[in-house]
């Protein structure tokens, strides 16, 4: 009795406790009860003090459940391992793509599997199958042969067979629950009735089925006859449809109304043009960015226009992030027709985009652009083409890229492209000799066509190998140009330049294919050329070097502040112009050629190369007759006096050159040595024009007067009387420009005005010391380390515990196994004893009966 009392009071206390700790309004309790937890499973850890703000995870737990979970997990992992321990016959999946699943298991993988399977079969039974003409291969689906599947496919619909075999409701209600009571029959008859009823129904059903089957057969036969009629009838019906009324129309409209916006719409030409303009604008913006030196833009920006400042700006040195990449409003840009214009709006987006694209590099974005436009043209043709996923598409795409990129030149010279004497597919020549042999057979325009076709046939998008091929082609072309120009004579030089001119677009295309490789090839060539030039820098390099410079001008963005190809070229050209001696017609023309290439290089960036100005002065100096003792100062490589300083002077008072036509410099000048009077006039004329051009480029710079002044001194000394009129005109223009620049007034240099900087307002720094834990203060690194060490310790503990439990689990398994085997053994032993005793009994019996007989 006392014990019972005790237990009751303990229960009460426990109940009180749980109530106390669990808030009656607490949701968790309700939830847990909802989940159907057994309250006896929950174990509550007592909490001595409630600490505000501390999240306690361990206040309640379910030891039984978690233990069961752990056990299950172990059984699944360790138990499995234990079960297969020391067993060798495991199942291994060696199929192709065994790690793939779901969508990854594509057609190709399945095909590969099938092929591999078949191959192994063939390999196994090759001997046996050698003379087997029948294809014994059986195709299976889920382990069944296809034939089997077809055999068992039931063509009937099977919904009729859903009849239940059970007893019908009337009968059961009557039989089980006694019914109304007015039909009193004995049990035997009732059952017999029931059986009879069942049989009748079955018969009926069978009959019905047969009928239905027959009818369907008949219908099928009829249907086949009717088929051709049906097709006709439907067509007629469509024609004969009554005109739709308003409701129908509305319905149709609603059905076919677009339910979402199209992601890739058809692009009309206007939009295409707009896209193109945007692309060009973006590229131009990028070019301008590259043109400036690293720090330059910031300086300019800070000088010209203040950055955006918010009203709350305290001028405390914290920058406003977004303001940095606003471009000036007067950026150069292209209008829709591709002409250079100014003041286009809507550049902010581009500036933002530009930031994103900076990492991607220009080439990539180029490629994307191209592809985008390709997609556009694709959808022009057929907007469903995106849906088809076939290999042919990519090819078609390549074709279309080629088409789109080649469109312009083809339009220009259709006669060339249509040339049928050249095969349409040309393989990439293996060696340079093959290449030259291929080209040398044809005239200049055909050569360009050949190159174009080689590029087409070896486009890297067609095949991976072509990546190497195009690089090779590029180096062949460079070598070919070198061979052509290195020893060009005055007869064929013009032809060579024509070829170069026609090759230029193809070289451009090639460079676009793989800018890095191609550029490195070109750079190697230039390096080699510079190596040769360096050995003897007093003589001009051969003509091919100059041609490479021109190539660089055409292919690369020469306006960059620093460019891996262009900058070395600048240095190279400066070196040539400032060191190489000028003695012959060829050298004068080469120098002038270089000067014009340099001007082309800087035409957009408006940078200056001193050697250009020196060289132009030198040529002017050469044209001035020097009778008096006084020397005109001129820099090397030109000579102050002597015959070389008067190379271009016309004989005094001669009238022979007076009537010469205006003529630009000729390509022949680049290969001829002797100086003729008409060349003298031509060279001077070109020099005057180039002076004007060069001065125009630097016109806007502060200090342009320093560049213009030296020209004035020389220009006044030119004996104009003996020159034709156009030279005089150009002289006048150049002089005017130089005079204008020389009178330039400049503001003194002064640092840009800067606002005095306000003192930085410092945020108060609070030290977070509100816990009273007595532990030494540590540095950040040390604290981090201590934390990590603590973590390691805990993890280690946990791991040890886990391992211990694993061991226990395994021991238990082992014990079970032993017990089981012991049990089996005991049973066997028992059985043996039993059998033995039976046997013994029989023997005894036998012995006894024998004894009995004896007696």
Q: Closer CB to other proteins, residue 626 or residue 701?
A: 701
Which tokens hold the place of 325? 């990449």
E-state strands within 253-392: 333-334, 340-341
* Interacting span for other proteins (CB under 8 A) from 96-104, 244-252, 342-350, 356-364: 356-364
Out of 435, 480, 485, 530, the residue judged to bind other proteins by CB under 8 A = 530
Out of 67, 743, 793, 797, the residue judged to bind other proteins by CB under 8 A = 743
* Interacting span for other proteins (CB under 8 A) from 140-148, 496-504, 794-802, 810-818: 496-504
Q: Closer CB to other proteins, residue 474 or residue 809?
A: 474
Q: Is residue 615 a contact residue for other proteins (CB under 8 A)?
A: no
* Interacting span for other proteins (CB under 8 A) from 92-100, 264-272, 588-596, 803-811: 588-596
Q: Closer CB to other proteins, residue 444 or residue 810?
A: 444
**Integer Cα distance of 702 and 300 in angstroms:** 14
Cβ-contact 167, 194 below 8 angstroms = yes
* Interacting span for other proteins (CB under 8 A) from 32-40, 142-150, 461-469, 632-640: 632-640
Q: Closer CB to other proteins, residue 319 or residue 751?
A: 751
Give the other-Cβ count within 10 Å of 543's Cβ: 24
Query: CA 597, 601, 605: angle at the middle one, nearest 5?
Result: 150
**Integer Cα distance of 193 and 201 in angstroms:** 12
Task: Please give the distance of CA 788 from its chain centroid, rounded to a whole number.
Answer: 40
Which uninterrupted H or E stretch holds 144?
Answer: strand 144-145
* Interacting span for other proteins (CB under 8 A) from 309-317, 320-328, 557-565, 771-779: 557-565
Cβ-contact 511, 474 below 8 angstroms = yes
Out of 379, 385, 436, 557, the residue judged to bind other proteins by CB under 8 A = 557
Q: Closer CB to other proteins, residue 382 or residue 412?
A: 412
Out of 446, 706, 726, 739, the residue judged to bind other proteins by CB under 8 A = 706
Q: Closer CB to other proteins, residue 296 or residue 382?
A: 296
Least spacing, CB of residue 515 vs other proteins, in Å = 4
Task: Please give the distance of CA 739 from its chain centroid, rounded to a whole number.
Answer: 56
Out of 534, 658, 791, 830, the residue judged to bind other proteins by CB under 8 A = 534
Q: Is residue 729 a contact residue for other proteins (CB under 8 A)?
A: no
* Interacting span for other proteins (CB under 8 A) from 52-60, 147-155, 450-458, 660-668: 660-668
Q: Are strands 140-141 and 43-44 parallel, antiparallel or unpaired?
A: unpaired
Least spacing, CB of residue 473 vs other proteins, in Å = 18
Q: What are the φ and ψ backbone dihedral angles of 79, each rounded to 5 degrees?
A: -60, -40
Q: Closer CB to other proteins, residue 608 or residue 813?
A: 608
Nearest to 604 by CA among 478, 697, 670: 697
**Integer Cα distance of 14 and 81 in angstroms:** 44
Residue with the two structure tokens 């070229």: 569
* Interacting span for other proteins (CB under 8 A) from 68-76, 348-356, 415-423, 492-500: 492-500
Site for other proteins, residues 536 to 555, rule: CB under 8 A: 537, 550, 553-555
The sign of the torsion formed by the CA atoms of 630, 635, 641, 646 equals negative
Q: Closer CB to other proteins, residue 620 or residue 686?
A: 686
Nearest to 724 by CA among 768, 687, 680, 667: 680
Q: Closer CB to other proteins, residue 365 or residue 722?
A: 365
Q: Give, as one character, the DSSP assignment of residue 180.
A: S
Q: Is residue 408 a contact residue for other proteins (CB under 8 A)?
A: yes
Site for other proteins, residues 446 to 485, rule: CB under 8 A: none
Q: Closer CB to other proteins, residue 429 or residue 715?
A: 715
Out of 702, 729, 786, 819, the residue judged to bind other proteins by CB under 8 A = 702
* Interacting span for other proteins (CB under 8 A) from 225-233, 343-351, 558-566, 842-850: 558-566
Query: CA 193, 197, 202: angle at the middle one, nearest 5?
Result: 150
Checking 401-409 for CB contacts under 8 A at 24+ apart, the result is 401/370, 401/371, 401/374, 401/461, 402/456, 402/459, 404/370, 404/373, 404/374, 404/377, 405/370, 405/509, 406/452, 406/456, 409/452, 409/505
Site for other proteins, residues 366 to 405, rule: CB under 8 A: 366
Residues that bind other proteins (rule: CB under 8 A) add up to a total of: 111
Out of 494, 626, 726, 805, the residue judged to bind other proteins by CB under 8 A = 494
Residues ≥6 apart with Cβ < 8 Å to 74? 805, 806, 809
Instruction: Report the SS3 class of residue 779.
Output: coil
Out of 48, 50, 54, 747, the residue judged to bind other proteins by CB under 8 A = 747
Give the other-Cβ count within 10 Å of 150's Cβ: 9
Out of 288, 438, 478, 690, the residue judged to bind other proteins by CB under 8 A = 690
* Interacting span for other proteins (CB under 8 A) from 14-22, 99-107, 453-461, 566-574: 566-574
**Integer Cα distance of 644 and 622 in angstroms:** 8
Q: Closer CB to other proteins, residue 129 or residue 366?
A: 366
- CA separation, residue 760 to residues 306, 757, 763 (Å): 20, 8, 9
Least spacing, CB of residue 355 vs other proteins, in Å = 16
* Interacting span for other proteins (CB under 8 A) from 183-191, 235-243, 497-505, 807-815: 497-505
Q: Is residue 519 a contact residue for other proteins (CB under 8 A)?
A: yes
Give the other-Cβ count within 10 Å of 158's Cβ: 7
Out of 629, 749, 762, 769, the residue judged to bind other proteins by CB under 8 A = 749
Least spacing, CB of residue 302 vs other proteins, in Å = 10
Site for other proteins, residues 662 to 681, rule: CB under 8 A: 663-667
Out of 516, 812, 835, 845, the residue judged to bind other proteins by CB under 8 A = 516
Q: Closer CB to other proteins, residue 353 or residue 362?
A: 362
Site for other proteins, residues 104 to 133, rule: CB under 8 A: none
Q: Is residue 705 a contact residue for other proteins (CB under 8 A)?
A: yes
Q: Closer CB to other proteins, residue 698 or residue 734?
A: 698
Site for other proteins, residues 287 to 316, rule: CB under 8 A: 287, 290, 293, 295-296, 299
Least spacing, CB of residue 640 vs other proteins, in Å = 8
Provide the CB-side half-sphere exposure for 848 (13 A, CA): 6
Q: Is residue 567 a contact residue for other proteins (CB under 8 A)?
A: yes
Beta partners for 44? 60
Q: Is residue 273 a contact residue for other proteins (CB under 8 A)?
A: no
Cβ burial of 699 (10 Å; 0-12, 13-18, 19+) is middle
The sign of the torsion formed by the CA atoms of 504, 505, 506, 510 equals positive
**Integer Cα distance of 403 and 416 in angstroms:** 16
Q: Is residue 724 a contact residue for other proteins (CB under 8 A)?
A: no
Q: Is residue 327 a contact residue for other proteins (CB under 8 A)?
A: no
Which uninterrupted H or E stretch holds 43?
Answer: strand 43-44
- CA separation, residue 438 to residues 431, 434, 551, 623 (Å): 11, 6, 23, 46
Site for other proteins, residues 144 to 183, rule: CB under 8 A: none
* Interacting span for other proteins (CB under 8 A) from 196-204, 228-236, 416-424, 633-641: 633-641
Cβ-contact 547, 524 below 8 angstroms = no
Q: Give, as one character, the DSSP assignment of residue 668.
A: G
Q: Is residue 610 a contact residue for other proteins (CB under 8 A)?
A: yes
Q: Closer CB to other proteins, residue 32 or residue 400?
A: 400
Cβ-contact 330, 340 below 8 angstroms = no
Question: What does the chain come to in residues?
Answer: 855
Least spacing, CB of residue 685 vs other proteins, in Å = 9
């Amino acid at each position: 009795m006392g014990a019972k009392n005790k237990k009751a009071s303990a229960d009460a206390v426990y109940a009180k406790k749980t109530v106390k700790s669990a808030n009656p309004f607490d949701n968790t309790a309700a939830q847990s009860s909802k989940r159907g937890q057994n309250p006896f499973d929950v174990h509550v850890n007592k909490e001595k003090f409630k600490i505000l703000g501390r999240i306690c995870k361990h206040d309640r737990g379910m030891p039984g459940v978690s233990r069961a979970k752990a056990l299950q997990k172990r059984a699944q992992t360790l138990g499995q391992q234990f079960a297969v321990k020391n067993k060798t016959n495991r199942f291994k999946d060696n199929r192709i793509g065994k790690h793939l699943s779901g969508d990854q298991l594509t057609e190709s993988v399945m095909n590969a599997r099938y092929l591999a399977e078949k191959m192994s079969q063939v390999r196994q039974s090759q001997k046996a199958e050698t003379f087997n003409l029948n294809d014994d291969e059986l195709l299976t689906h889920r382990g069944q042969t296809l034939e089997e599947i077809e055999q068992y496919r039931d063509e009937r619909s099977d919904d009729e067979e859903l009849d239940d075999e059970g007893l019908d409701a009337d009968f059961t209600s009557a039989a089980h629950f006694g019914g109304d009571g007015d039909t009193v029959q004995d049990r035997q008859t009732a059952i017999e009735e029931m059986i009879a009823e069942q049989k009748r129904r079955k018969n009926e059903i069978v009959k019905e089925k047969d009928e239905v089957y027959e009818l369907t057969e008949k219908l099928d036969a009829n249907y086949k006859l009717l088929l051709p009629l049906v097709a006709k009838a439907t067509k007629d019906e469509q024609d004969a449809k009554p005109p739709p009324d308003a409701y129908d129309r509305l319905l149709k409209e609603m059905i076919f109304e677009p339910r979402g916006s199209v992601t890739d719409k058809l692009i009309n030409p206007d939009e295409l043009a707009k896209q193109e303009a945007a692309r060009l604008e973006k590229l131009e913006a990028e070019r301008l960015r590259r043109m400036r030196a690293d720090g330059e833009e910031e300086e300019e920006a800070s000088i010209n226009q203040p950055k955006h400042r918010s009203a709350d700006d305290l001028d405390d040195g914290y920058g406003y992030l977004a303001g940095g990449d606003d471009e000036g409003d007067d950026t150069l840009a292209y209008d829709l027709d591709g002409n250079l214009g100014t003041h286009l709006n809507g550049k902010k987006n581009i500036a933002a985009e530009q930031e994103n694209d900076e990492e991607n590099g220009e080439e990539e974005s180029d490629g994307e652009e191209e592809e985008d436009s390709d997609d556009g043209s694709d959808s022009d043709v057929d907007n469903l083409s995106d849906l088809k996923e076939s290999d042919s598409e990519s090819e078609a795409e390549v074709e279309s890229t080629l088409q789109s990129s080649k469109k312009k030149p083809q339009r220009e010279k259709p006669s060339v492209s249509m040339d049928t004497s050249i095969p349409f597919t040309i393989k990439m020549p293996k060696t340079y000799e093959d290449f030259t042999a291929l080209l040398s057979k044809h005239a200049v325009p055909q050569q360009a066509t050949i190159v174009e076709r080689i590029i087409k046939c070896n486009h890297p998008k067609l095949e991976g190998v072509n990546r190497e091929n195009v690089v090779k082609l590029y180096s062949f072309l460079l070598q070919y140009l070198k061979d052509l120009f290195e020893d060009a004579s005055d007869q064929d030089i013009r032809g060579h330049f024509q070829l170069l001119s026609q090759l230029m677009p193809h070289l451009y295309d090639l460079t676009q294919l793989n800018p890095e490789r191609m550029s490195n090839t070109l750079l190697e060539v230039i390096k080699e050329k510079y190596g040769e030039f360096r050995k003897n820098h007093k003589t001009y390099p051969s003509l091919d070097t100059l041609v490479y410079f021109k190539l660089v001008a055409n292919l690369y963005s020469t306006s960059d502040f620093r460019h891996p190809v262009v900058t070395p070229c600048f240095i190279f050209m400066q070196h040539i112009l400032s060191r190489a001696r000028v003695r012959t017609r060829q050298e004068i023309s080469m120098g002038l050629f270089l000067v014009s290439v340099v001007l082309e290089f800087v035409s957009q960036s408006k940078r200056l190369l001193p050697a250009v100005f020196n060289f132009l002065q030198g040529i002017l100096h050469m044209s001035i007759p020097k009778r008096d003792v006084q020397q005109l100062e001129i820099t090397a490589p030109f000579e102050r006096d002597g015959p070389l300083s008067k190379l271009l002077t016309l004989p005094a008072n001669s009238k022979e050159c007076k009537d010469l036509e205006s003529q630009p410099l000729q390509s022949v000048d680049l290969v001829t040595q002797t100086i003729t009077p008409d060349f003298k006039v031509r060279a001077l004329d070109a020099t005057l024009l180039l002076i004007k051009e060069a001065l125009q480029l630097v016109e806007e710079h502060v200090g342009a007067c320093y560049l213009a002044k030296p020209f004035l001194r020389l220009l006044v000394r030119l004996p104009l009387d003996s020159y034709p009129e156009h030279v005089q005109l150009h002289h006048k223009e150049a002089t005017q420009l130089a005079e204008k620049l020389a009178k330039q007034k400049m503001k003194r240099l002064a640092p840009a005005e800067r606002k005095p900087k306000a003192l930085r307002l410092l945020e108060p720094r609070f030290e977070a010391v509100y816990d009273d834990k007595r532990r030494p203060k540590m540095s950040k690194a040390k604290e981090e380390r201590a934390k990590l060490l603590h973590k390691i310790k805990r993890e280690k503990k946990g791991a040890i515990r886990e391992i211990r439990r694993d061991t226990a689990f395994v021991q238990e398994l082992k014990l079970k196994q032993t017990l089981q085997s012991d049990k089996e053994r005991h049973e066997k032993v028992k059985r043996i004893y039993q059998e033995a005793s039976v046997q013994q009994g029989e023997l005894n019996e036998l012995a006894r009966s024998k004894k009995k007989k004896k007696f």
